[in-house]
Structure 1
Amino acid sequence: MSLQTKYCGKYYSYIWYIFFFSFFFCAKIQAQKKLNDFSDEQLKALFLKAQANGMSESQIKEAMLLKGYSSAQFDTLQERFTKKYFNNLQPNSPKEIISARQVIKPAIPFVKKDSFEHHSPKSAIFGASLFTQNNLSFEPDLRIATPKNYQLGPDDELNIDIFGNALDNYKVKISPEGTIKILNLAPIYINGLSIETASERIIKHLRQLYQGINLPQSGVSAQITLSNVRSIKVTLTGEVHRPGTYTISSLASVFNALYLSGGPSENGSFRNIRVIRNNKIVRIIDLYDFLLRADQKDNIRLQDQDIIRIADYETRVEIIGEVKRPMIFEVKSTENLKEILRFAGGFTDKAYTNLISLKRNTATGLKLFNITEDEVLTFIPKNGDKYTVGAILERYENRVQIKGAVFRAGEYALERGLSTVKELIKKAEGLKEEAFLNRATITRKQENNEPIIMAFDVGKLIRNEISDIPLQREDIVEISSIPSLREKRTVSIYGEVNKTGVFDFVEGLTIEDLILFANGFTDAASNTEIELSRRILDDDSTNTNHEQVKIFTFKIDRNLKLSSENSGFRLQAFDRIYVRKSPNYAVQKSVRINGEVNFSGVYTIKDKTQRITDLIHLAGGLKKEAFPKGAKFMRDSSVLAIDLAYILQNPNSSDNLLLLNGDYLEIPRTLETVKLSGEFLNPVAVTFRQHLNVKDYIRQAGGFTDKANKRKLYIKYANGISDKTRKFLIFYTYPKVEQGAEIIVPSKQNENIHKLSTGERIALVGAITSVSYLLVNISNNLK
């Protein structure tokens, strides 16, 4: 650094000091010593600028004291700044905020751990997660009663209440000299005294003002409590994540300080943490006592200038596999492998406990050990050991199984009294009634673990006609049931019953039963036409004609009684019943007529011979203003084009349609207009005139547009029928125009879709020319 740069930097520092003092002086006058008048932005500017120019916390505080602010006021401002800008810091916060934290943070007790500060040691180290939890702070409770033997010191505040015959209250603060000052009394020295001893000394002095205070029958009493605690400084050193000196509450304990500093570092010991006071070790803390047993005996309260030193770990081992907490653990020299297993929460329910595998570091490489269950209690771990607890095999030593038609199918233990097939069947509470007795199987594993099937006759085994069969480990006995060996037997019914479908077949089932299961006949059912179809099996000796099915017909009344000749007829599996519809059954059918009739509405079709003219007759005929030619006839949501005027004049013609259920006839009033739509210059509706033709109406619409396809002109009449333009040679004949008609001229735009553009035509001509030139050359060469 040049001399000039050095002096410039020094000069700039002096300018900053002058600015800092002037700012506080002006702010002090403007705010009239009311700290709440400082805005958050002012606080931010002050602290960040001071930090950027190398001012420490003590220098900032000294500057405020010189301008008349008290230490408590500085602490208040400092706490406001910290809560505003530090408590919610994120990794993307401004760098100047994060760097300023290094100056400001140690002065604020128990600032919450911030996300950007979280140091993540190896997650496998047991206990490390205690200091990385955002929801855990170990902050001291400042609202508790004053602890016994609490030693008072400078900045502690006491509350002295006088009550009884005299009422008074004193709030005093211990001075840096260790004294308190009460009006009209000499300073009282209480530094280093417990709260109990200090209370006795204060009351002794108060008797100069209040005669006999706290003595029996004096009538005046005093109570001394701690109203506000001081801050103390403790230092954390050694293998700690954030070593340094921290200003914390005097009520804080060792765990408070450890959490604030981030706890032991990656190489730090969790079991050798020393609290040093006045150059003497007052406590050695083993965090495992707290982690494993929630024992807080070592969580002592700290005092000013205490030192917490975290030593290096000496021995760490790792245990993985089937334990409840597979992690890295710190081990003392007196602890054995059983203690490590206790740290790991013990074995899981699938752990193989007979043997634990160990991989140990030696001077030249690695060495494997097998530790038996008997050696666990005496085996001493060494640093770097890695223990592996395996899982038991998914293999049973004495299991047999039975499946199928027994009452208690499942797994059983192969033991005394259950070592043969017959004993296994008995243990399973015997065979079910539907058990297939002719053949059962045993699935057995051979020596090479390949399965083999062994069959036996269950019936003979139960009747002691064959010898009992010994069982082996993992044998599976399977006894089939008769229903499982055949197709599922059903019967079905279709047609005019309330519930058609397939039903399970049972012996003795009759037609009457099946109709009852189907919830009886519908109203349309014909009880004289019930058909049954039956399979014919290949082994049926009566089937001499080689028929595939047999057909039976029955008569049955509504009370589900068969005729006498069919009484007692039994169904067989897979029979199918069909109930036919009665030929004379029909539901009510209706049609609707609206418009210019005397009685519009819905009418019932009496029989299958009714036609359109009959419907008009039922509706009372047409009104005088009706327009029959414009009538529309709808069937199944589609328009059927009819000429009602022609039908009325010729009722016997085929145009007079038979009525069907749901038909709809609409008769409009007389229409007096003609509509022109499509590619006209002036699409419009005009008055119908008897003597005018299509060309006359075209002129009224201003003629065609350039896009009009004149050859495709057509007329749509009021009843839905259309008529097109006809061509003979070069002459066009247009349809006749009627009342209510619509003249429509479509666009010829679609016809131009496939026409070639000018560029395409030029390219095509060029290609044809090239091909022609090539053909001419080939012809000349051939000649």
Structure 2
Amino acid sequence: MKRISFIMLVIIGLVITQLSVGYAQKTELYKLGINDVINIKVEGHDDLSFLSHISIDGTISFPNLGSIYVKDRTLAEVEEEITRKLAAGYIKHPVVTISLMQTSSKRVYIHGEVGLTGAIPFEKDMTVVMALSLARGIRDTGLYGTVKVRRAEGRGGYRTIGESGLYKGVIKNKNIEDMLLRSDDIVIVERSKTIFLQGEIVSPGRLELEDGMTVLRALSMAGNIRDSGLYGKVKVRRIVGPGGGYKTVGESGLHKGNIKNKDIEDMLLQPDDIVILERSETFFIQGEVNKAGQYILEDDMTVSRAIAVAGGIIDKSGLYGKIKVRRKRVAEFGYETVGDSGLKKGIIKRNDIEDMLLQPDDIVIVERNETVFVAGEVTVPGQYVLEDEMTVSRSITLAGGIKDAGQYGKVKLRRMRQDGPGFDDMEIDIKGIIDGTVQDDLLLQPDDIVIVERSKEFLMYGEVNRVGVFPLEKDITVMKALTMAGGLTKWGSESRVKVLRKTADDTKIERITVNINDVLKGHPEADILLKPNDIVVVSSGIL
């Protein structure tokens, strides 16, 4: 009969093993109780491997060792004692393994976000907080969750008899904290309720939802806002309706990282809310500024302020240029110019453009100065900024004035044709402008070219007091030329004056005789006008 009972006990133990009813064997918390069944194995010693019931006095019987008290001890503690006693004189280096096959003692079950889940021995006057303590407390993932107590009711059913939120792992409801448990009660610690943070924040991701957590508090716990989001937007999205879809329930702009809308700042968050920090809106500034690039669109950002943020206009290349504001088209692709103004010494001429408020993705362009060119017989030829109302004479002054070689030359204004390729030349009476006899000093246009040509000349040679090259002024006659040369020497003859002139085809020299005596006698027609490169020769009157 004893043999049959032992066989039945083995079969029962195997069935129990297959069904994994020994759920508590995986925990370190379980303390053995009366009528529990344990399986003892000593490696290499089948005669010392057997199933054992814990007797009513809390002991088991072990061959050669006698009675061992195991009640209210863990499996590991019992293993250690048996190993020590066997090694004391029976087996060298024994390896003992004990597993729990069946429990008949009272217990409480702990599930969820605790240090160790499973069954713990039920003790008299055990409270919820005591049970959680035995389960090594609440994990970080449950510090803001919910604790529930469920109790058996009817045939295999359970109902929730108590529930409380947690704050930093502390049960908020004192009644639940001190609730007395019964055998087979289930204590569940649910995972903390969470929210999600996305976008321009230092630590995006999942965040535990504390009691009374506001948008501002959530941002602070996530490490605050990155520089790239200081002027962006904050949005709160929430699951709405039976379909479980998300909807934006709050939105506000940011100013230097501060939420503008107080209602959004203080909005209480709910489980699974998503807080989104959108990137700051930006604008672009290009062209003749010191620091071209992309900039954050701060509140009330005007064109003039944008230029200042970009380091101002480059002195040499933009002070007399143009400024344009280009903006995205609303209904179609591309950009359009919504404002432009000239610049004078770096100051925007039009007040409405200077104070224009920029919008997201606007492009501010500072165009290069418009210029003119001054060439020829000036002191410093080159390219010059086209200032407001710049005239031909002003451009020559900026170029250092006309050199001696150009004092009697022509001044031409060369301008691009408006109706096609090429240039048109206009002759300017610069001497008349300087003398005040001509009032029409032309205003220059972008890319005009002012050319000061070299003065046309003639040569005085022979019996004159100053031999040399002279500028050919307007309406210079032989008589005037002799005066410019200081008159005739004492050997010079008024009747022996000749003008040597190249023919039109530049192949021959023409000799023209001029009798100065006839001119002096009142015959001006005897005098002739000189042409460029003429040579006036005065011969001696001595034979």
Smaller-chain TM-score bracket:
0.3 to 0.5
TM-score (norm 1): 0.26
Q: Which one has a larger percent helix, Structure 1 or Structure 2? A: 1
Give TM-score, length-normalised by structure 2: 0.34
